Amino acid sequence: MSILVNVNSKVVVQGITGREGGNHARAMKAFGTQVVAGVTPGKGGQDFEGTPVYNSVAEAVEKQGANVSIIFVPPAGAADAVLEAAHASVPLIVLITEGVPTVDMMKAVQEVKGLNERNLQGGGAGIRLIGGNCPGLVSSGEAKVGIMPNSIYADKGRIGLISRSGTLTYEAGKLLQLAGLGTSTTVGIGGDPVIGTTFADVLPLFEADPDTDAIVVIGEIGGADEEAAAEYIAAHMNKPVVAFISGRSAPAGKRMGHAGAIIMGNVGTPESKLAAFAAAGVPVADTMPEIVELVRKALNK
């Protein structure tokens, strides 16, 4: 098994007729993901290389049984696309789009949380948003709902990976692959300040996954998600966790590419994150290759 996505996931691509949406729909199919539908309002009835396109997510759910949505809609309409999928009760919504206004994300995240609670109370599976500004997620050898390079995730491994960065996720995935450890599921949670799913939300899923032996958390400067993750690990995790923090030499007050990667006052500093992981007994790799060493060490304990 794996977490969140697997061979049975039926994916709808919101924005499939756009350049990004189209390219990545093709790459996901090549990976082996079941891409069952696309949505582009106004283009319902067309098809994208054999995949039917609908006017709404609700229609894609009804006609094709889609249970995962991946969103490539431009920033101005991205939050609305999230809400459309959430109101169509899609259990997993992955927002790839970068550059969504923060206020839009605040409103969308709050509404999705409300819908999730109502859905759970009604006996449903819940509704989860991952991202935005994220590379998506992939269960190696099973299904990719994201934009990462296919080759790194072809074969199933036993290490879970959670990351705020895109390229570093690929880099770490490649290192684990070369080391013969491989990844079970990789979750890119996104580099924006307000995101749907945090490290601490994903950790319990890996803890419960029988096919994951250890977890790698790739954090960066800004915010306090790493601190919250450390707290969760100390209190609830039995499986070993290894961490990495990027941007340790970044100056305060400057945004490092990601909207959320900024040290504000005394919040978001690498020192605070390192201290939190140390207190939780989580080893932190100083370099990317050291991640592999630390995972090996943790598994041999």
In whole angstroms, what is the distance from residue 241 CA to residue 158 CA?
A: 13
- Cα torsion through 150, 289, 270, 200, rounded to 10: 50
Nearer to another protein, 142 or 225 (CB): 225
Nearer to another protein, 234 or 288 (CB): 288
Nearer to another protein, 170 or 206 (CB): 170
258 catalytic residue (yes or no): yes
In whole angstroms, what is the distance from residue 3 CA to residue 299 CA?
A: 20
For 93, residues 6+ apart whose C-beta sits below 8 A from its C-beta are 68, 69, 71, 82, 85, 86, 112, 127, 128, 129, 130, 196
Query: In DSSP terms, which residues pair with 149 in a beta bridge?
Result: none
In whole angstroms, how close is the CB of 202 to another protein at the nearest point?
16
Nearer to another protein, 60 or 115 (CB): 115
Tokens of 111: 């509404």
Query: In DSSP terms, which residues pair with 39 in a beta bridge?
Result: 14, 54
Nearer to another protein, 39 or 145 (CB): 145
Q: Tell me which H or E stretch contains 218.
A: strand 214-220
Q: Which amino acid is at 279?
A: A
Count CB-CB contacts under 10 A for residue 284: 21
Query: In DSSP terms, which residues pair with 37 in a beta bridge?
Result: 12
In whole angstroms, how close is the CB of 112 to another protein at the nearest point?
10
In whole angstroms, what is the distance from residue 188 CA to residue 212 CA?
A: 17
CB 241 within 8 Å of CB 217? yes
In whole angstroms, how close is the CB of 260 to another protein at the nearest point?
6
| Catalytic residue selected from 24, 87, 236, 258 | 258
Q: Buried b vs exposed e over 36-49: b needs ≥16 C-beta within 10 Å?
A: bbbbbeeeeeeebe
Nearer to another protein, 54 or 153 (CB): 153
Residues that bind another protein (CB under 8 A): 75-76, 99-107, 109-111, 147-149, 152, 163-171, 174, 191, 193-195, 218, 220-225, 228, 246-251, 254-261, 264-266, 286-288
- What positions carry a catalytic annotation? 258
